Structure 1
């Protein structure tokens, strides 16, 4: 599975395009009300990725076990320090309602935590490489 994301931003406009293999869709995220950038920050999106991955994986793993899920809630918390510092104390909790015993649901939750790809990506510290910066000069700003 190949995944890519494209963010295009300029004052008053923020567009997010997501792609998994040949499936392309957009995610509505508004621009900052004033200035440049997104109205959400990268930490929020990182934690959204953790919670979304776990939620989706609960449904995937439940099917394998023949468990019918009614609802899933996932809350991720953590802390960021100064500019450039990585997140610390990242934790999450889940509430899973299903047609199964409490022990079967807890077992499903533990196994899903072991298999969740985004959690495992962060746990192993995957490298991230900046391949290129395409600089487009529109002239120098003189004040």
Structure 2
């Protein structure tokens, strides 16, 4: 399920690829990098990945966990007859001195509270104004 893949990185996990696009980021002084094509499918996955990355920094700060770098990869596919999403899968890599059980607690918390994945899971209407 690696169609429409995107990668976001920050800190020690920022991308060094020539085509990675940098963006300012409130949680890191050097900003984030984004690897994604500019299609609606990629942007949907980017919204989920970016939200997870942001929330890792936010929740780590609240829990007192130092985070040196984060990379989130998200991908998924679509039913080409309806263009309905068949789901999004994301994977996270975090550079932290925190013990594994603290990292697990952090990632579980982020999976629970991340706003964009929650909205996607719940479904939403989209209407033209």
Both structures adopt the same fold (TM-score exceeding 0.5): yes
The equivalences for 1:1-143 within 5 A come to: 40-82=38-80, 84-131=82-129
More divergent stretch after superposition (110-119 vs 85-94): 85-94
Report SS of the residue matched to 2:67: strand
How much has 1:84 moved relative to structure 2?
Answer: 3.6
The count of aligned residue pairs is 94
Q: Please, what TM-score do these two structures have when normalized by structure 1?
A: 0.62
Structure 1 CA distance for aligned equivalents of residues 128 and 81 of structure 2: 18
Stretches of structure 2 that go unaligned for 5 or more consecutive residues are 1-36
Q: State the superposition RMSD in angstroms.
A: 1.6
More divergent stretch after superposition (99-108 vs 77-86): 77-86
- Max Rg structure: 1
Report SS of the residue matched to 1:129: coil
Which string of whole-angstrom CA distances, capped at 9 and with x for unpartnered residues, describes residues 34-88 of structure 1? Answer: xxxxx62101011111110000000000000101101111111111121542111
**Ranges of 4+ aligned residues in structure 1 off by more than 3 Å:** none
Task: Tell which has more relative contact order, 1 or 2 (C-alpha 8 A, sep 6+).
Answer: 2
Q: Indicate the residue corresponding to 1:27 in structure 2.
A: none
